[in-house]
Structures are given as structure tokens and as C-alpha cells.
Chain A
Amino acid sequence: MLTHLKGAGAALALILLGGSALAEEAGAPKAPEGPKSVVPVHASTADHSKFDALKKEFTSGPEVTEACLSCHTEADDQVMHSIHFQWDFTHPDTGQKLGKSNVINAFCGSVAGNEPRCTSCHAGYGWEDMNQPPPQQSSAVDCLVCHDRSGQYTKTATGAGHPPLDPVKPGTKTITGAAAWPVDLAKAAQSVGLPGRDNCGNCHFYGGGGDNVKHGDLSSALYMPSKEVDVHMSPDGENMACSTCHVSDQHKWAGSRYDVNASDPHHGDVKPGARRDVATCQSCHGEEPHPASLKGMKLNDHTDKLACQTCHIPEFARGGVATKTVWDWSTAGKLGEDGKPIALHEFKQSDGKELHSYLSTKGNFEWGEDVEPYYAWFDGQVEYTTSGYTIDPSRTVEVNTIKGDPADGISRIWPFKRMEGRQAYDAKLNHLVYTHVWGPTTDTAFWTNFDWGRAIEAGMKAAGVEYSGEYGFVDTYMYWPITHMVAPAEKAVDCAECHAADGRMAELAGIFMPGTDTNNWTGILGKLIVLAALLGVLAHGAIRIFAGKKGDSHD
């Protein structure tokens, strides 16, 4: 049965690919005929296509939500208290106010000032001002973005979360960057089920403005990944949905990037059959995951220092989708001789697709595929350089600082994508700034007017933060923990990648790693001892030959 389903899924994917190509040729964008990922069937006791509340013509997203809530009476309240809706997270340990509505990143900068574009991926409808909390009426929750299983529900890229409906204005894009089609809301409402990889991926795979731009380990390759790319999510592997690990309770999910479980010492305390609310590798695999053999024992020796991901995700951005590795905003704004924006596409992805290397709107870019991670000690805490934080512009600014201590017992060496940026800051107050980049109708948005001064002033005003009026550009690093795209065991990082001089972890302190320093003091002393022995016997032998004597015979 399962293999049959997998086959059907692959066929479906083929149809989809063919379908979208045809649609482009024909001009009018056509809705996908099914979801981009197949997940194992979860037996349900309800067939939503038989519900009267859903058998009607819907004219807006909120109308569908009202129909959902007529049965699921508590769902709106649950979703509205989740980070998917609030975009606001007060860190329990550091007290920092984080979440999308607050932080500044090394990509498009900030949500504040660019709402209808950024909030297109909000799990709700109509959040147009970050100074306000998200809309509070219960119908503002978007049920379909997570639960549609017809595959044709989507959101408009610049519509503050609303779906494209008939008639779709030509040129409209969806949140994944595809030409928008008119969504059939009734079909979507009647199809609902548990979220598949596509429901999560349609937003999370496209963070930062495009496929795999932001995370590096979350890309469209994960809709239907091969086993090589992701053993867990591959239909040829475990065919897991995101929620298999990111378990939820009342619409709250395990696995936060703001408060990470860098290790999971309590995984063993959970009784069989009990809920596991932590999305760690250990929550399923335990602390001694390797087989009980000599080799397994030696590999288990590593788990007190290394995160599982460190060996089992040898590279990120695998599966043919590149990730942005460098984003230099400071060069943005150059226009062609005709006064129009320029676009250069000098990076060729392995599938032949050319990706932008310069855009007048966004500056210079570098991309990478199969990228070797950056490694650092990580205890799960990340401190963000929020707008109130004073920076030292003479050095590379860490947009988010990774915390970790080799000796604390909790920290592990983790793989990260280290995004290199060059972004705007307040040159007088030494703060990172909010920028107003998107706004086709304003006279301040950078992408329309190419004037940093006005774009920053407007961004800071939108965020309600003081601005001196002087700006500059500063080099930045931003760290993204890598945890998806787990490779098959035989493709794990080879020992010698680290156990060698100039290995992957050469820069890391706080750990003893055999094989990395053959010429330390002991190595030199030892080599001198051996050299002395060699020279000694050579000299002794030479003198014997020179003296013409072979040495004694006892006779």
C-alpha cells in the first residue's frame, strides 16, 4: 500500500512539473492539480467534502475560516497564541523581544516597514502594520495555508496574507514566486487535512525572498527529496511530514530557532507512548544512536561533544537548490544608463538555472550549493543584535550571536550556515537600522526610489525607533543552525574531514581531536627520539663499514 502511494506521488510530481511548464507556455497561470508533497495517509474520521458548512461559494479567506470555526471552536484562539500568528517571542532566558516583528536580519532587513510583502506569509489575513499586533478578529486566522491538501491554495506575494482570487491581476505572484492563479476556496476548504511538507514549505522554503535563500537547509528540494538529500522526508525513506518531528499541541510547535535544544538530556525520561514535545534527533534516536559494536562504541564517544547534525548533514543546500551565502546591500541602487534597474545573473545553479548576482534593488549576491557548514559551540541560545544594541562598526557585526561553552555539558558543536552580509546601520548611534524597501506606491521605499536616506528614515519611523539621519554600511554575519537534509548514514561526514590537520573544525577551541596536530611538542620530541635512533645506528654502521669490521664473532 505504501509503495503504491509513493509511486502515485512520483507520478503526481511529474504531472505537476509538466503542468507548470505548459501553463507558462499558455500564458494564463493554472492552479496545480495536487499538492507538491505526499505524506502518509492519516486515517481521519471526517471527510470534509461532506460538510455542509464547506459546500458553498467562498469569496474570501476569512469566510473559509469562519466556516472552519463553526466546528473547530477553539482553533482560532490556539493559532492566535502561536508564534506563527504573533511573530513575537520573548526569550525566556535572555528576555530579548524576538520574533519576525522585532528582529533585524541579514536578508531583507526587517518586516517593519515592508508589511504587505513580508506578511504575505503570515498565518493570517490583513496584517498591514507591524506597530499594531496582528488582527484580532477570529476570522483573521488562515486555516488553509497549513491545512489545504488540494495543493492549489496559495497567498499573493504582496497581499498581507490574502490568496489570489478570480480575477487575478496579471503579473501577480504567489509567495513561492510563481505566477498566481485564482484559488478555488471551496475546493481547498473541502480538502483539508494534516499539513504536508508543501504546506510548511510554501513559506519556510522561500524565506528571505526566494527558494532556499535564507536557511540553506530548507528548500523546494524537500517537497519530494531523494533519500540522499533527506532520509527522513524522502518518499523513498521515511516520507515524514515536518510535523513528524515538529510535534504540536494546540497549534504550538516544538523546535524553535530562537530557543533551541542544542542537546536533549531528558529524552530518556519520556515513557513509551507519551508525547515528545522536543524536536531533537535524540528524542527519537537517543544519546547512543550507533549500533552496539566496537565501531558504534567509538562513534557514540562523539555524542557528548557533537550535535548529530554535525556529522549527519555533511553539506547544506543539497538537492540542486542553491542558497544565498553573501548579500551586500551597499552596492544596491546602481542604475543603468537608461535610468532603469539592472539585473545580472552570473551564478549558474546545477540544474542550469541562472540566479541573480546583482540587482539594483538589492545589491550583490553570492550563492552556494552543497555548502560545507560553519561549526561552533552552541547551547541553544542566540542573542540578537536588535535595534537597541550598540555595535562596533569597525568589526564584522554578528546579527545574532551564538552562545555556547565547551564545558557546560549542554553545548554541542553544531553546524551553521554563516551568512555574510553588508547592511545599513545608523552611523552616529551605531545601531542596525530598519529599512523600508518594499512599497511600489511610496516615495520612500528603496526598491522604488533607490534612495537609502529616505528608505532608512521611513523604516525607522515605521518601527518607531530613533534615527540620527546618518547611515553607513557594516559587514555582518548571521548564523542559521543547520538541522534538515540529514543524509543517509553512509554519507555522513568522514572521520578524516575533521581528524586531520586543517580539518573542518581546525578553528574550534575546547576540544581534543586526535590526528589534527602531529607536530605538537610531543610529536616533535618523539620524532627527534626516532631520528636520534636512526642517526645513531646509521653512524654506528658506517663506522663499522669504514673500520672494515663486521663486528665480533664469539669464536
Chain B
Amino acid sequence: MTKRIVKVYPRFERLWHWSQVILIVTLMVTGFGLNGVHSLIPFGPAVMLHTIAALALLALWIFATFWLFTTGTWKQFVPTLQGMMQVALYYAWGVFRGEKHPYKKVLWRKHNPLQAATYFGLKWFVFPAIWSTGLLYLTYNFWAGAVPNASFWIWAIANLHLLAAYVIAAFVIVHVYLLTVGHGFRAHVEPMITGYDEVDLTPEQEAYLQADEPWRLKPQES
């Protein structure tokens, strides 16, 4: 195994990530405003901004899903229990004692097991919860007439939407905090900007990259 600086985040994934950041922040600020948590934005413009940002995010997610399945990168997000315990123990104990992070990034595993599990939960439960309730919320008028007790359903939908939003807010807090653990904030953010990160490569992977995708490898520092 050799440590090499490898391009692990292609341009689309970086664009996806940062667009998502902007849209989710917009949605959270406008959404919590609409809910009455703060009153920084007037209600009417907040509704418009929230709706437009939500539709843009949905479009982005459709592209991202397409990307994940056509490029095979969906495998990055398959959860695994292997190594989970060590990572959890590290965050709960080892980190305070200056221990090394037990997880080594490899080419087809950018995420440690805890990360993979978190993203799996977000992608399969929290995000679907927020966009499905959001769409139902937005299209209320198209179904309200056909559904008995529509006032109850819109109430239930709105509350689920809100709960999912709070869970995402909690995720964002932990996500940003964890950037400070380990190599430090800067080192953790940089790969998502430049696309390059340090990865353990097998000789076969290294040889393959050198031969077929040389632009993904940075020259080795001497």
C-alpha cells in the first residue's frame, strides 16, 4: 500500500456538494423563518425562495442519483459494519488521547463506516422524508379536494417536514464539527474544493491509475 494524493472527488461531485450546501442553507434559513423560529425574511418572499430552492435541490438530486448509478459511485454509500466499532470508539475515547484515526481511506471507500451509515440514513430516510412531505405540502391544492380530512393530513405532513428539517440541521452541526477532528478543518475542506485527497492505493490501483488515469494522481513528493 502506498499513500498517494489522488483525485477522489470529480468535478460533478464537488459541484453537487457545494450547490447542496447553498441550497440547504437557503432552505433552512427560509424554512425556519416560515415556521416562526426567526423573522429575518418576510413571509411572502421566504415562501418563494424556499419553493424555488427546493425545486432546484430536487433537480440536483435527480442528476446526482443518475450520476451515482451510471458511474458506480453508489457503492461508496453502501453501509458496512466492518470497522464501525473502532471508529465509534475512536470518536468516543481515542480522539481525546491523540490516537490515530483507525480508518484508512481507500479508493472505493471515501467514507469511514460511521460516515457511510450516516449518509445511508440521510439518503434513504431523512432526505426522502423531507422531499416527499415538501412536495405534498407544495401541491396541497391538487389533492386537498380529493382527500377527506385534508386539514389533518396537511398538519401531519407539515410536522414531518419540520422534524426532518431539524434532523438535517443537527446533521449539519455534527458534519461541520467533525471537519475539525483529525487533520483539521482546512485539510478536511480542501479535498472537496480541489478534488484531491490522500488515499491508500494498492500497487494494482496505483499501476492502473498511472497507466490509464494519470491526471488523477499527483506526483509523489520526494
A residues apposed to B, CB below 8 Å: 294-295, 297-298, 300-301, 304, 406-407, 494-496, 499-501, 510-512, 514-518, 520, 522-523, 525-527, 529-530, 532-534, 536-537, 540-541, 543-544, 547, 549-554
A496 touches B96 (CB 8 A): no
B48 in the interface (beta carbon within 8 A): yes
- State whether the Cβ of B183 lies closer than 8 Å to any Cβ in chain A: yes
Q: Does A549 lie within 8 Å of B95, measured CB to CB? A: yes
Q: A547-B96, A552-B95 are in contact. Are A515 and B177 (CB under 8 A)?
A: no
Distance in angstroms from A528 CB to nearest chain B CB is 9
- Size category of the B interface is 35 or more
A544 contacts B165, CB within 8 Å? no
Of B62-70, B115-123, B167-175, B202-210, the segment with at least 4 beta carbons within 8 Å of chain A is: B167-175
CA distance A221 to B171 in the complex (A): 58
Q: Which residues of A contact B155 (CB under 8 A)?
A: 512
Q: CA–CA, A553 to B177, complex, Å?
A: 16
Are B37 and A554 in touch, CB under 8 angstroms? no
The residue in chain A whose Cβ has the minimal distance to the Cβ of B181 is: A551
Choose from A532, A544, A552 the contact partner of B170 (Cβ within 8 Å). A532
Stretch at the interface among B13-21, B140-148, B213-221: B140-148
Q: Beyond A512-B151, A512-B155, A533-B170, is A496–B42 a contact (Cβ under 8 Å)?
A: yes
> Are B104 and A554 in contact (CB-based, < 8 A)?
yes
Comparing B4-12, B76-84, B156-164, the segment that makes contact with chain A is: B156-164
A297 to B140, CA, bound (A): 10
**In the complex, are the beta carbons of A533 and B151 less than 8 A apart?**
no
Residues of chain A within 8 A of B167, CB atoms compared: 526, 529
A547 to B37, CA, bound (A): 36
Query: Residues of B with Cβ closer than 8 Å to A?
Result: 34-37, 39, 42-44, 47-48, 51-52, 90-91, 94-101, 104, 140-141, 144-145, 151, 154-155, 158-159, 162-163, 165-167, 169-171, 173-174, 177, 180-184, 198
Q: A514-B158, A517-B36, A518-B37 are in contact. Are A552 and B99 (CB under 8 A)?
A: yes
In the bound complex, how far is the Cα of B158 from the Cα of A406, in angstroms?
19
Bound Cα distance from A295 to B153, whole angstroms = 23
Residues in A with CB closer than 8 Å to B198 are 554
CB distance from B155 to the nearest CB of A (A): 4
- Shortest Cβ distance from A147 into chain B, in angstroms? 45
Task: Pick from B43, B97, B141, B151: contact of A297, CB below 8 A.
Answer: B141
Q: Is A553 a contact partner of B182 (Cβ separation < 8 A)?
A: yes
Complex CA distance for A398 and B76, rounded to whole angstroms: 68
Using A494-B44, A510-B151, A522-B163 as known contacts, say yes or no to A541 and B180 having CB atoms under 8 A apart. Answer: yes
Report the nearest B residue to A532, measured CB to CB: B170
Instruction: Tell me which residues across on chain A come within 8 A of B44, comparing CB atoms.
Output: 295, 494-496
User: CA separation between A499 and B165, bound complex, in Å?
Assistant: 19
Q: Is the CB of B98 within 8 A of A549?
A: yes
Contact of A533 among B51, B104, B173, B181 (CB under 8 A): B173
15 inter-chain pairs at a CB distance below 8 angstroms, sorted by A residue, are A301-B140, A406-B151, A494-B42, A495-B43, A496-B42, A496-B44, A500-B43, A523-B35, A526-B162, A527-B166, A540-B177, A541-B180, A549-B95, A552-B99, A554-B100
In whole angstroms, how far apart are the Cα atoms of A295 and B46 in the complex? 11
* Contact of A551 with B163 in the complex, beta carbons under 8 Å: no
What residue of chain A has the Cβ atom nearest to residue B153's Cβ? A512
Given contacts A295-B48, A551-B98, contact A304 B37 (CB under 8 A): no
Most buried by B among A536, A547, A553: A553
Q: Which residues does chain B contribute within 8 Å of A547, judged by CB atoms?
A: 96-98
Evaluate contact between B158 and A534: CB separation under 8 angstroms. no
In the bound assembly, the distance between CA atoms of A60 and B77 in angstroms comes to 95
**Bound state CA distance, A25 and B27, in angstroms?**
67
The minimal Cβ–Cβ distance linking A151 to chain B, given in whole angstroms, is 44
Tell me whether A551 and B182 are in contact (CB under 8 A).
yes
The residues of B that contact A406 with a CB separation of less than 8 Å are 151
Q: What residue of chain A has the Cβ atom nearest to residue B96's Cβ?
A: A547
Q: Which residues of A contact B183 (CB under 8 A)?
A: 553-554
Q: Do B36 and A526 have beta carbons less than 8 Å apart?
A: no
Chain B residues lying within 8 Å of A514, measured Cβ to Cβ, are 34-35, 158
List chain A residues, Cβ under 8 A from B174: 533, 536-537
Q: How far is the CB of B212 from chain A (nearest CB, A)?
A: 27
- Chain B residues near A407 (CB-CB < 8 A): 151
Quote the shortest CB–CB distance from A263 to chain B (angstroms). 13
Which residue in B35, B140, B171, B173 is a CB contact (below 8 Å) of A515? B35
Residue in B97, B100, B166 whose Cβ sees the most chain A Cβ within 10 Å? B166
Docked CA distance A515–B162 (Å): 11
Q: A518-B35, A526-B166, A552-B98 are in contact. List 18 more A-B contacts (CB 8 A).
A: A304-B144, A304-B145, A495-B47, A496-B44, A512-B155, A515-B34, A523-B35, A537-B173, A547-B97, A549-B95, A549-B96, A550-B98, A550-B184, A551-B181, A552-B90, A552-B100, A554-B100, A554-B182
Most buried by A among B36, B155, B180: B36
CB neighbours of B47 from chain A (8 A): 295, 298, 495
Q: Once the chains bind, are B173 and A534 in contact (CB under 8 Å)?
A: yes
Asked whether B97 lies within 8 Å of A549 as measured between CB atoms, the reply is yes
Complex Cα gap A537–B99 (Å): 19
**A552–B94 CB distance below 8 A:** yes
A-B pairs with the 8 shortest C-beta distances? A526-B166, A518-B36, A495-B43, A533-B170, A537-B177, A549-B98, A496-B43, A522-B159
* Cα separation A526 to B182 with both chains bound (whole Å): 29
Residue of B nearest to A301 (CB): B141
**In whole angstroms, how far apart are the Cα atoms of A546 and B133 in the complex?**
43
Interface-central residue, A298, A532, A541, A543, by most chain B CB under 10 Å: A298
Q: Which of B95, B140, B159, B162 contacts A544 (CB 8 A)?
A: B95
By beta carbon, the residue of chain A nearest B159 is A522
Residues of B within 8 A of A550 (CB): 98, 184
A499, B39: Cα distance in complex, Å: 11
Instruction: Say how far B89's CB is from chain A's closest CB, in angstroms.
Output: 12
A526 / chain B contacts, CB cutoff of 8 Å: 162-163, 165-167, 169
Closest to B35 in A: A518
Whose C-beta in chain B lies nearest to the C-beta of A304?
A: B144
Are the CB atoms of A525 and B163 closer together than 8 Å? yes
- Taking a contact as CB atoms under 8 Å apart, the answer to whether B170 and A294 are in contact is no
CB closest residue in chain A, given B137: A514
Residue ID in chain B nearest A520 by CB atoms: B159
Measured between C-beta atoms, what is the minimum distance from B184 to chain A in Å? 7
Cβ of A520: which chain B residues have Cβ within 8 Å of it?
A: 159
